[in-house]
Amino acid sequence: MAERSDRAPSRWRRPLLRWLDAVEAGWAVPLLLVGFVAVWTLYLAVAYAGGGLHPDTLEAWTLGRHFAWGYHKHPSLMGWIAAAWTAVFPLSDWSLQLMAMANAGLALFFVDLVSRQFVTGHKRIMVLLLLMLTPAYQFHAQRFNANAVLLAIWPLATWCFLRAFATRSAFWAVAVGCTTALAMVGKYYSVFLVASFAFAALAHPARRAYFTSASPWISVVSGLAVLSPHLYWLATTGASTFTYALNHANGNAISSLGEVKNFLLGLVAAMSVSAVIWVLIAGTRLKQFSADFAAMSPNLRLLFYVAIGTIVLPVLTSLAMGTDLPSLWALQGLFLFVVLIVCGTRYPIERFYTVNLAVIAAGVALAAVLVVAPIHAVYRNINGYEEGRNFYAQAANEVTRQWHELTGEPLSRISGDDSLAFATAFYSPDHPHYARPFAYQYEWGLPRKTTLDRGWAALCFRGQDDCGRWMEWVASQTGHFVRQEFTVQASLWGKPGLKRDVVVLMVPPRANSDVSPETAAQDFSASKRSPK
């Protein structure tokens, strides 16, 4: 049937076949990626029409407001990207939603750079379509954080490594060093990608030619050079990112086995839809898998070793150190297996299947926009989010209004519940700075006197006991404050939704305060005292 369809396609298939004909002409893949970004950005805009941005995205933007070579929890790449994006685009929900999906689209573009090392024509499209049916490039990508930022960096670094290993040229060696360093300042989990490159090079039959050339050593030197500002930051600030990362290493042998099991099952689940579709496409030709594997080209075998390393090395580390191992940490590496499966087949794949796959991917995207997104928006307007995203903009605008009435000055510093504080910084027309240093993000410390003298506000949702007790403690330590409560209500397309109470503590500025507002990011004391 597939062969007959390719010989005499139905009329509705012909535009799609002309699109596939243009893969090597250069416009088919960009058209697919632009459509992907546009449709899934629209999905986010509709699905979250009544709610604010995810706290992870707001945190990335908050970090980026203050340039640094590193931040307390994670390296700095996500903050840099958010800062660069908002220097060009407005501060709005759609803007950062577009940023998240543009990152996913760029990731798929870099995956295509890897694919075209092994295949041409519509098989390149097939790789992208199978990945579009995984949750990594839509739902995972929408939370723009240290995990999502790796979606684009890992395939870019992999492409550079493949080119460097094949050519051993200085240019590609430098490219590998720079991109792996960039991956490391995205998230330290990328050490498994770097180690997988080393493992793949050692396992490959051409290892002697590679390691006796200057290429790997140029990569090491250039990578360390690019990474040196961050390494200096680590050395001079106490390496808090390492401390935060090591907080995940608190398990034992039994818990590690459970983590590994869930890690592998999570990755299988993420690939399940694409895997089923591939089985249907391959059919009885799956029997050729072992023969195809044995006949795998040297460059594709190099990629196979990289893929194995990105799974085996985290598993071994988790078992040895008792670390957490959520599967979402590895979603950016799924492309390796899709490229291997599709590009490793020696038999031709009829374009009939690629057209069908394109229709399925388009159908899923349109159903998400037209059906799932409105239902999700209506459901959340009534039932809300755990983190209170429905109320971010309303709470930010109300606390800003009350602050203006109280002081007549712009609101410049905000803290309290992190999600509310990040949201207030973003949604308030004054865009106050998040006033708690990230080194004390999870400690309910007392603001410094200079902070209180300049004026400061904090917000909590009613019912957040830790935040409420901390607010009472701060109030007891300051001589002048105003405590208010107000109710905010979610709204979706003019329909009122869930209500929630917000508690705000405002400390108006003292008349004699002359401290520069530029030091707002260092305004909390290092006190680790917690309110009783």
Percent of the chain with pLDDT over 70: 92
Q: Is the pLDDT of residue 246 over 80?
A: no
Averaged pLDDT for residues 110-138: 96
pLDDT computed for residue 519 by the predictor:
37
CA–CA distance, 303 with 294 (Å, rounded to integer): 14
pLDDT computed for residue 477 by the predictor:
79
Q: Is the pLDDT of residue 443 over 70?
A: no
**Least confident window among 141-150, 167-176, 318-327:** 318-327
- 444 closest CA partner among 524, 333, 329: 524
pLDDT computed for residue 128 by the predictor:
97
pLDDT computed for residue 440 by the predictor:
52
Contact 59/434 with Cβ under 8 angstroms?
A: no
Q: Is the pLDDT of residue 428 over 50?
A: yes
Contact 122/23 with Cβ under 8 angstroms?
A: yes
Q: What is the 3-state secondary structure (H, E, C) of 230-282?
A: HHHHHHHHCCHHHHHHHCCCCCCHHHHHHHHHHHHHHHHHHHHHHHHHHHHHH
Contact 80/230 with Cβ under 8 angstroms?
A: no
Contact 504/399 with Cβ under 8 angstroms?
A: yes
Contact 107/150 with Cβ under 8 angstroms?
A: no
Position 436 confidence tier, pLDDT thresholds 50, 70, 90: low
pLDDT computed for residue 478 by the predictor:
78
More confident call, 515 vs 28: 28
pLDDT computed for residue 442 by the predictor:
59
Averaged pLDDT for residues 474-493: 88
Report the Cα–Cα distance between both ends of the chain, in Å, rounded. 73
Kindly state the tokens that stand for 430: 């004054």
Amino acid found at 417 = D
Position 129 confidence tier, pLDDT thresholds 50, 70, 90: very high
Q: Hey, which residues does 482 pair with through a beta bridge?
A: 506
CA–CA distance, 37 with 468 (Å, rounded to integer): 41
pLDDT computed for residue 476 by the predictor:
83
Q: What is the largest CA-CA distance in the chain?
A: 85
Distinct helix (H) and strand (E) counts, the chain: 23, 5
pLDDT in tens, 298-323: 999 999 999 999 999 999 998 888 88
pLDDT in tens, 455-464: 889 999 998 8
414 burial via Cβ count (<10 Å: 0-12, 13-18, 19+): buried
